[in-house]
Amino acid sequence: MANKVVISTHIMQTLTAAVEEVKHDKLFLLTDETTHQLCLPLVKDIPCLAEAVHITIGATDTHKTLDTLAGVWTELGNGGGTRHSLLVNLGGGMVTDLGGFAASTFKRGIKYINVPTTLLSMVDASVGGKTGINFNGLKNEIGVFNAPETVIIDTEFLKTLDHENVLSGYAEMLKHGLISNDKNFAELLTFDVDNIDYLHLGQMVGTSVAIKEHIVKEDPLEHGIRKALNLGHTAGHAFESWALNRKPYLHGYAVAWGLICELYLSCIKTGFPTDKMRQTVRFIKGNYGTLPITCDDYEELYGYMTHDKKNTAGIINFTLLAGIGDIRINQTANKEEIFEMLDFFREG
């Protein structure tokens, strides 16, 4: 399940080496409309990609669907793909998730390489072998665990991002800080996200990826400690599903708001320090704003939480903290506590 993660400062050499390492008869390159325009120019002159068949899909999570997946399968087939072909996914988490799933299922599985181009996909979506699509109104409902051959992380791509997309990825870095140690977390809370030092951010990305890699290696199929990576996601995925039918928000914003909720639960259920929770809430509300839910939305949000993949026998499962780096998996909360959590999110 483990894949090789390379922090690159020279994308031409790194990608060439990664492609040459995998014997293949045909090379495919998957982008979405945004990365085709903004990121492809950074790699299009690399000789190893000269013969690649280009596949471009619609941008944003609204295209992370069965129809889009079928379109990629069709392009792979029409382009002469065989079980010995290689797919390079160049894009954010939607491209690496869907492209990884397409590769994992086409001809019963072809090899693939991820080149994440957003901060979110660098620190989250491209490491750990999770692939999938949204289905039946639910996030990542269909998918498989299947790691890429290589993940190439080059922070040069981050300069193509707008501020919202930087913040979206930064929320996952905050989560990694919370589940690691005080030093990492303090650095994240003091970094100037409005005036980005890309060299410093690149170093922080390396730290964040290493935190996730360490956990994934311990528990590749999410039977135990890998659930630490779900901090903020039970509430966050519910917020994301709720917003899909109204005004969609970036994944990281939903995770940031989910962290507020689940740190509140951590305070009342597992003894997380209130001052650290308040400090984190201030940072998130100051940078991410809030989601305009009302108490009339609680039942719908609760319903989304009951569909979460981490649940067992219908009991809603949370990852909580007793302190920074002190992880408590498989925690539960009843409906009344979840409604109190949503009250805190709106008013806290």
Residue-wise pLDDT for 301-325, tens only, equals 999 999 877 777 778 999 999 999 9
On whether both 144 and 169 belong to a single domain, the answer is no
Strand, helix or coil for residue 89 = strand
Using the CB atoms, write b or e for 93-119: b if 16+ within 10 Å.
bbbbbbbbbbbbbbeeebbbbbbbbbb
Closest CA to 26 of 55, 5, 4, 2: 55
On whether both 280 and 142 belong to a single domain, the answer is no
On whether both 71 and 207 belong to a single domain, the answer is no
Using the CB atoms, write b or e for 132-166: b if 16+ within 10 Å.
bbbeeebbbeebeebbbbbbbbbbebbebbeeebb
Domain boundary residue, one of 160, 190, 208: 160
On whether both 10 and 153 belong to a single domain, the answer is yes
Counting residues of the chain whose pLDDT is more than 70, the rounded percentage is 99
On whether both 270 and 314 belong to a single domain, the answer is yes
**CB within 8 A of 139, min separation 6: which ones?**
237, 240, 241
Domain boundary residue, one of 160, 190, 219: 160
Q: Where are the beta strands (DSSP E) in the chain?
A: 4-7, 27-32, 53-57, 86-91, 111-116, 133-135, 138-142, 150-153, 317-323, 326-332
On whether both 138 and 201 belong to a single domain, the answer is no
**Rounded Cα–Cα distance for residues 118 and 272 (Å):** 31
Residue-wise pLDDT tens digits, 215-250: 988 888 778 888 999 999 999 999 999 998 888 899
On whether both 104 and 58 belong to a single domain, the answer is yes
Counting residues of the chain whose pLDDT is more than 90, the rounded percentage is 80
Confidence (pLDDT) at 341: 97
In terms of pTM, does the model score above 0.75? yes
On whether both 31 and 106 belong to a single domain, the answer is yes
Question: Which domain CATH number covers 19?
Answer: 3.40.50.1970
On whether both 260 and 296 belong to a single domain, the answer is yes
Question: Which domain CATH number covers 259?
Answer: 1.20.1090.10
pLDDT average, residue stretch 278-293:
96
Confidence (pLDDT) at 207: 93
**Rounded Cα–Cα distance for residues 106 and 264 (Å):** 43
On whether both 186 and 322 belong to a single domain, the answer is yes
On whether both 41 and 106 belong to a single domain, the answer is yes
Domain range enclosing 227: 163-347
Domain boundary residue, one of 160, 176, 207: 160
On whether both 96 and 199 belong to a single domain, the answer is no
Domain count, the chain: 2
**Rounded Cα–Cα distance for residues 271 and 267 (Å):** 5
Confidence (pLDDT) at 128: 81
